Structure 1
Amino acid sequence: MIATKDIAPAERARSTSFNEASARTRLELLLDAGSLVEFIGPEQREISPHLKIFDLPEQFDDGIVIGHGRLDGAPVFVAAQEGRFMGGAFGEVHGAKLTGLLRAAREIGTIPVLILFDTGGVRLQEANAGELAIAEIMRAVMEARNAGVKIIGLIGGRSGCYGGGGLIAGCCSALAVSEPGRIAVSGPEVIETNRGVEEFDSRDRALVWRTMGGKHRRLLGAADVFADDTVQDFREAALELIGSIGAFDLDRLKAEQVRLADRLRRFGACEDAIDIWTAEGIAHAEAVPELPADQFIALANRIGRASRDAR
């Protein structure tokens, strides 16, 4: 049996599931070997001031890893949420670390930021502090982009990208998503609780994935690249997006408005993602969820519905 430490980092990246890996493992394998330098690491014990009140476990990095490293030799700032701690939810310290990273990127102006989303939204236990953190992060993203910083969201974690995370992702320059990744503002359980099971059955996993999952988001143009579920595939997606992002200006915002209006006109009457895929001209649309990654990527490229939106 070969020990993990004896396997080359590139081989580990090709064989490691992005979905199943921890936040630090994702970063260590995504970046050039040995280049990750963490800011405000666990040794500084910057923990949430709120969780103890509710007798909840704390984590010394408050569920997010931030730092800098190199990607194919070039410098990048990075942030990775730990979905296995409170579902990657945003709290005061968690949010402040990401906000600070984005503000640093804005001041430098030339170093891209990679955000590895893995979150169910805001911690209910931190309520207003968590909501404020989302607002501050969104402002920091837009200020950094306005300063010329490219901000890439990578979505493939267990918790998906829900709530405030979905809003922040929509502010990014570009997004890469895998099949396990889901993107939405309201999660399945939230929709069912507020609108009833007749509106959305959160236990219907096939419905959840074809409504919020990576394949659907890519076909809609809401994600720019579809990646297979390995860290190496996300590394390649990040490099592709960094190299292809255009300017952030008024014309891009206007294009977003046109794209959204067109999407509503074309698909507003559709009741299911399969109806949308059929309207896109995809033969045997019901088979899309079963397509292997390489076949789906070829399909998405053939459809050619590239994102033209404000990200």
Structure 2
Amino acid sequence: MNTKAPTRVSRLYEVMDLMLDSVGDPLALSGLAASASYSSYHFDRIFRELTGFSAVEYQRKRRLRRAAHQLRHEPDVPIGRIAQDCGFPSNAAFAKAFKQQFAMSAKTWREGGWRAYMDQQVGRESDVSFFVAEPSNVEAILAPYCAPEPGSIAARIEVRQLPAVALRYQRFFGQSGAALSIACNSFICEREKSGEVLPGAPWYGVFDEDPGFTGEREYCYDFGFDAAHGGEEAGDASLGLRVLPAGTYACLDFCHEWPRFRSMYEDWLERQAQAVWRFDSARPHIQRVERGPDGQWRGHLALPIKKR
């Protein structure tokens, strides 16, 4: 049994997860600080060192990205309801904050402005799905996105009920594309070398927001392993512990390739499945990967969905 006390970083991870789970609720800085065993001053300073943002600014940006997600994927929900659900005290406050963040109104965003933002302002690397290619093989990450043949991704999608997974993870901030891939690969090598992760165990990449709407500086990405697959040295107190929620996911299996969530959105969710399914913004995107007998990566992308 792991008896190591949580580190400063892992305590902040827990607070950040609380902020995500409570994105629509008012959270006082003093309460967040107390939950991490800090004074308000030290908590905000340490939070800024870790993420590059104050706790208040970080939560505001997460609320806005949650709203942007819902505006895209839940067109029948009134804008005012989305503003309320994402923790804004009034429609006017939401409208002002949204325009400051995305340079357009929520109405314009919902009518298709999100695509221009994703393509022009966020940039190519941010819509790359999460993978762990070795540093010597990053061609897939550096390649520009190419839309698949219509229906080709949709034909491979399977709707599955996935179980919950207790994840030991490292949280990466402000990295995307090749830099993130290399960092994840280094994490794998370190953990396998130390014996903390058993050979052949699966690895998980987790992103709680739409990667197409999140710029590199705001990227927050979790990468880790199922705690049940840890070796004798498992229990590093510097790692975070979170539960990936069970539920319904649209899954895209892959082998010897690196598909992207964007293709799942555009070729399946928004064309083939929209009469039945919608995106579930309360659960994360998940990538599960493992090495096959031939040494190549394989796994699946899992997009959280719910019935309309």
Q: Which has the higher helix share?
A: 1
**Would you call these one fold, judging by a TM-score over 0.5?**
no
Q: Whose strand proportion is higher, 1 or 2?
A: 2
- Bigger relative contact order, structure 1 or 2 (CA pairs below 8 A, ≥6 apart): 2
* TM-score (normalised: structure 1): 0.24
